[in-house]
Amino acid sequence: MIKVKRVYDKQEKDDGIRILVDRLWPRGVKKNQIDVWLKDIAPSDELRKWFNHDPNKWEEFKERYFKELDNNPKVKVLLELISKAENVTLLYSTKSPYNNGVALKEYLEKLIRKSEAKV
């Protein structure tokens, strides 16, 4: 199961592997609170700055981000982690519900559904 939550939210036993998916390390977070940091899975700086968590740009942001992810070798690493764990929690730092963690979860779930449909 893939979950998404703020890195500042309480750590829970069912989080499984906790993966930070932001390009920048969140202020005040200790290294033992995160299992894996995949900063290269985050949107490009250009895309992140353009989006700026604007809800009006959400759909276009996801389209652009998904195109970036289609060519990102870290997606394969992330899929391997997901396949080996019962639970994976994607962590992000922003307060906005419109963020790369939420978009990444949607992208990964679509990929997993496609691969399961092929089997």
Question: What are the pLDDT digits (tens) for 92-118?
Answer: 999 999 999 999 999 999 999 887 776
Q: Count up the domains in the chain and report the number.
A: 1
**Would 88 be classed as within a structural domain?**
yes
Read off the pLDDT of residues 8-64 as tens digits, 9 standing for 90 and up.
Answer: 999 999 999 999 999 999 999 999 999 999 999 999 999 999 999 999 999 999 999
**Would 27 be classed as within a structural domain?**
yes
Question: What is the structure's pLDDT at 52?
Answer: 94
Q: Which residue reads 């307060």 in tokens?
A: 95
d(CA 21, CA 40): 8
* Average pLDDT over every residue of 73-80: 94
Question: What is the structure's pLDDT at 116?
Answer: 77
101 token code pair: 């963690």
d(CA 29, CA 48): 21
**Would 99 be classed as within a structural domain?**
yes
**Would 13 be classed as within a structural domain?**
yes
**Would 119 be classed as within a structural domain?**
no
Q: pTM of this prediction?
A: 0.93
**Would 18 be classed as within a structural domain?**
yes
**Would 35 be classed as within a structural domain?**
yes
- Write out the H or E segment, with its range, that includes residue 89: strand 88-92
Q: Which domain holds residue 33?
A: 2-114
**Would 92 be classed as within a structural domain?**
yes
